[in-house]
Structure 1
Amino acid sequence: MNSITLKPELSELHNLNEFILKEIQKEDFKVNLIVEEIFVNIVNYSKTEYITVNVDYNPPTLILEFIDNGIEFNPLLKEKYTPPNSIEEAEIGGLGIFLTEELADELKYHYINGENHLQIIKNVEP
Structure 2
Amino acid sequence: MCHPSDVVAWKHFDQMYLDFVEEPRNVRLGLCIDGFAPHSQYNRTYSCWPTFITPYNFSSNMCMSSEYMFLNMVIPGPSNLKCLIDVYLELLIEELLQLWHMEVRTYDHATDWAFMLRAALM
TM-score bracket for the superposition, by shorter chain length: under 0.3
TM-score (normalizing by structure 1) = 0.25
TM-score (normalizing by structure 2) = 0.25
